[in-house]
A and B are shown apart, each in its own frame.
Chain A
Amino acid sequence: MLRFIVRRVLGAIPVLFGLSVILFLFLRLLPGGGPAVAILGQHATPQLIAQINETQGFDHPLYVQYLDYLGRLFRGDFGASVIDGRTVAESFAIRFPATVELTIGALIFAVGLGIPLGRLAARHPNSWIDGVVTAISLFGISIPVFVLGYTLTFFFAVQLHWLPAFGQIDPRLNVPPVTHFAIIDALLAGNWYVVDAVAHLILPSIALGSIPLAVITRITRASVIDVSNEDYVRTARAKGLTDRRVNSRHIMRNAWLPVTTVIGLQVGALLAGAVLTETVFTWNGVGSWVVTSIQNHDYIVVQSLILIFATIFLTVNLIVDVGYAFLNPRIRYS
């Protein structure tokens, strides 16, 4: 098992190196007169350009710049925003909790609804129930998060006033930011403020969770049907075991394997989807930060955020692979 983990961790390292080279070149080879002009705009004064070249080291030879960049990455220095001067690490620490909250919310929605729906459809294959479930998942993968987000906002916030339309918590509550997780901060503040924080999380979670919901539903359905046709399931039934016991002990135990893998893979889709969802719901996380940084030509931030997103994505995939090997001995020993 340890060898498997070590092998997988070592496999991720060249990928991150490769990505660091590409992202390094992304910033240095920006079209339109080099990085300084791209960051400052066409009307920058020569003094400003000279200044940024000086501070960022853009006038050094490329290989020196790359080694310097790599050295800073190893020290956890991801550069600073040219807009507000804050370091990426500093802003990331404030914004990342919001993205984590949103991602967990979306996962709870997708897994909590997707697995029961998939099992339901698998129990009645080719029935009208199956048809409805298939239609839901088709819709889920076909609707962009921003279209679903605004549709939900229109019905549940604008028309019905049941849920808030944007933000993580009502600013009038003056909840002091301690952990930057809105729900935890609200819990710490007491007064049932947490209800407000959870209410803010519902619509974004549904919007972001729609694609994972569709994928998880589909794979659960397929996996359960697949396992249900196995000989050992027939044997179990023939032995006279109750339906419940066959379902829990024989079918679901084996059907879980592909489902867990897919859930892990969906984390990547969630990170990418957060970029759009956070923009729709003015959610102050890392996703909306990517968008504002691009709009502000804050390329150093963009560069670092893509690298951070990829690192998180690779790490999650690694955990999923290890977890899968843990659940399924056939993988571990091959």
Chain B
Amino acid sequence: MDWHQLDLSPRITAAVRRAKLKCVQDVLCVSGLDLQRLTGLSRSDVQQLITAAATACRPHPPVPALLLHRGECRRLESGLRLSVGCPVLDELLRGGLPVGGVTELSGESGAGKTQLALQLCLSVQYPTQHGGLNSGAVYICTEDVFPSSRLQQLISDQSCLRSDVPPTLISRLQFSDHVYIEHTADLESLQVCLSRRVPLLLARGAVRLLVVDSVAALFRCEFQASDWLERTKQLLSFSSTLHHLSQEFNTPVLCINQRRHRDPPNPGRQEAPPLSSNVSPALGLAWANQVMVRLMMRRLQETVARGNQRSALRRLEVVFAPHLARDGRDAAVWREGVRGLTGSECTDVQH
């Protein structure tokens, strides 16, 4: 933003130019006395300058929450949720993923994390009255090759999963045209992807869901244990990029994370909330501070059967979220996708 756009007298603007202050933001980061010294302006002039700069940096005044409640302020609360595509799991998540904010899904391998992520890539394409966001998804793979055959299978069985949606609508949607796949093998290419290609897709409205599968892979393999300071720095810069994208484009961001076995109990650490098992998501506290909703998927010992299909029993749990209670639902992965159990399936224990 340029100086002459501010509501200031030319005398003050000229003094600011002389002082070689680069941008409006700099004014707020320098103390008042320093500004007086740098610009040679009087105290009241400096006050005017700071107020003008602050007004320019803060576009919107405080809004009563009632306006959000009535849906009159879409900028702050769109009221949208991205449905998972299964009523049982949507009920657990109170409608689905929040559209602004980073959601983390962690779990051991084989728990069904990728299955759920693929399902979200499809459900985002439905119109909003069917829980979607009427747009595509971008899927960033850092670990494995994108499971495209499984995606095709999910697409062909959509009508079985989404019996609530008219079949004519499902047949009209070109699902596979709207899933953009990126493979990034190192941190550098991930940064390039997130800072150039993804914003472009989001700005065009081509996508409205960002999936990173998985965050832990790159950060775990590229850094030695002794580089933890550099790792934390990179991790913060990565997470702030995600946060920025999510806020700016009002887009849900789903990060898949691995799990690690928790360190032996140490009385000085009370970081991790108690869970039903002795594992916790990877990447530690620095990453956890950046996550808004933390979900966890576990694979249980039992298997469930439905017709001629069998599946290992899974459990999707809410670890923390500002709007959700700590709770969980049993689920299973069928041919058509991940579904919460309703009780019509039969469970048998197999070890």
**Chain B binds chain A:** no
* Residues in A lying within 8 Å of B, measured CB to CB: none
